[in-house]
Chain A
Amino acid sequence: AQTVTQSQPEMSVQEAETVTLSCTYDTSESDYYLFWYKQPPSRQMILVIRQEAYKQQNATENRFSVNFQKAAKSFSLKISDSQLGDAAMYFCAYRSARGADGLTFGKGTHLIIQP
């Protein structure tokens, strides 16, 4: 079974600074997807960024980028120029590219933005 580990229960960063959230995963598959979701207090699940395992290039979405290390099974999220609106829970998630399986989530990292 796949597992996803987020080793930082909570992170704090000053506004406008850069922060990196860590995620490692375990799988025996070679084709899969990785995701970062943001969950603000409204509890809505918002997709931040996704990465296809077959793509070597790291995904980026504006201020959000990932460092995908397939051999190391690592998938960290970097948030540049942190803003107050970035404060939320962040979840790393994995799903196989095959079949109907759902997502496997990490336990989440609570990101605090200090003004």
Chain B
Amino acid sequence: DAGITQSPRHKVTETGTPVTLRCHQTENHRYMYWYRQDPGHGLRLIHYSYGVKDTDKGEVSDGYSVSRSKTEDFLLTLESATSSQTSVYFCSSRGADPGELFFGEGSRLTVL
């Protein structure tokens, strides 16, 4: 969707290394979300933010942290990556309309 970009789009890393994924939106949306997608599981919510410095845990938050120092940026950090965190990660955002959500193009992370 227009206005949301994720970086990097692809990353291969080794077990135990830190990884940060970035989500950047230009829509001035208040709410932002990180999901992971694995075969057989659909998308599952990791963390979300409802404003600058305001974040909360989702369904699968263990091993992940997030930060939001600016409205437009929402960072997802894996402090010490594990092979179970190999996945495709999606960022999403929304404004005041609770039914209108926008997705980034996804970031594929492989942890060896």
A contact set with B: CB distance below 8 Å: 4, 33, 35, 43-45, 47, 50, 52, 91, 93, 95-98, 100-108
Nearest-Cβ distance from residue B8 to partner chain A, whole angstroms: 15
| With known contacts A45-B90, A100-B56, A95–B98 Cβ distance under 8 A | yes
Enumerate chain A residues within 8 angstroms of B105, measured Cβ to Cβ: 43-44
Q: Are B42 and A52 in contact (CB under 8 A)?
A: no
The interface size of chain B toward A, counting residues with CB under 8 Å, comes to 24
B residues 95-112 with Cβ under 8 Å of A?
98-99, 101, 103, 105-106
A98-B50 Cα distance, complex, nearest whole Å: 12
* Closest chain A residue, CB of each to CB of B49: A100
A106-B44 Cα distance, complex, nearest whole Å: 9
Q: Are A33 and B98 in contact (CB under 8 A)?
A: yes
Nearest-Cβ distance from residue A20 to partner chain B, whole angstroms: 19
| With known contacts A43-B88, A43-B106, A107-B40, A102–B98 Cβ distance under 8 A | no
Enumerate chain A residues within 8 angstroms of B41, measured Cβ to Cβ: 107
